[in-house]
Amino acid sequence: MSSDAFRERLTGYRSRIDEALLQIAKGAEPAYLYDPIRYVFSGRGKRLRPVLVFLTASGFGADEEETLPAALAVEILHNFSLVHDDIMDGDDLRHGKETVHNRWDNSTAILAGDGIFALAFDQLNRLNDTSVASMRLFTNATLRLCEGQALDKAFETDDEVSVNDYLEMVRLKTGTLLSLCCQLGAVVGEAGDEEVDAVAAFGELVGQAFQIQDDILEIYSDSEKMGKSLGSDIIAGKKTFLTCKAEKLDRSHWREFMQSLEGESLDERIPKIRDYFGKNGIVTDGEKLVKELSEDAISQLEPLPSDVQANLTPFVQYLMERKN
């Protein structure tokens, strides 16, 4: 399949998800709960996670209609986590839109997040024969996501976070959800246990690569493409692959450098941070690891049916070419 044909296929999956999300909670009351839920579902995210469910399920022979509830469930779970993460991180923008807590308030956002989470389970219950197995995977993944978020928050006040510590956090927080996408797709496609395990490993590695790439883009992309202020995570004290590498390379020098930027605006800091990461080979190390993780992920697909490989290999290539 050509690159253009693959992108067109992804566009079709995204449209299917966007349309289905708008139908969820349509006209539901009370407005205090459902207005912010509808606001979240009207957003235009990349929909990479439900796309991954569709691609995996299709590789195992499942059609779009039977896959749709699983794809919606992971996208809804992802949105739930973002609503609550934005409260915890104090973020004002998400995909270029006001965050729920910023548009309304924290109480509204917490309740909306709770409602969104319940709606994810409603989709899983529509999977009929595979709902029990899917529910088990979904519940386990949700707990792993919470563990990853807990580590992410704890790391903000931990001065001894190593690169390996960071990679473990990313495995839980980002890798878990992409792994779940692959597992749900495989279960809907009636894959065997070993096949489910193989795509689970694939998704986990892709998730780690995706997050490290995101860390790089958060410094080297632009705010319009990213939908948020560049460098905001680093300035807020959140650990990224780049900062962990900087600490490992020369902790005292990195901290002196960051202290020297205090009082400057984000626009003033970003070019200096880019220069620091570039001169010290840190961004190159990040790009190298993204490539290694991506290649390891693709290698997990070797024992799987050719249709699965044909669907998931270009997905990895597509992710590695993204600019936001």
- pLDDT digit string, tens, across residues 132-158: 999 999 999 999 999 999 999 999 889
Average pLDDT over the chain reads 92
- 283: which 2 tokens? 């961004």
Here the contacts of 218-223 (C-beta below 8 Å, separation 24 or greater) are: 219/270, 219/273, 219/274, 219/277, 219/283, 220/274, 220/283, 221/323, 221/324
> pLDDT tens across 183-214, in order?
999 999 999 999 999 999 999 999 999 999 99
**From 1.10.600.10, 1.10.10.10, 1.10.3720.10, 3.40.50.1980, which CATH number describes the 3-318 domain?**
1.10.600.10
pLDDT exceeds 50 at position 253: yes
The pLDDT of residue 1: 64
Whole-number Cα distances in Å, 57 to 40, 62, 85, 282: 26, 5, 29, 37
The C-alpha atoms of residue 131 and residue 217 are separated, in whole angstroms, by 37
pLDDT greater at residue 314 or residue 221: 314
Q: What is the pLDDT at residue 229?
A: 56
User: Residue 215: pLDDT band by 50, 70, 90 thresholds?
Assistant: very high
Map out the domains of the chain as residue ranges: 3-318
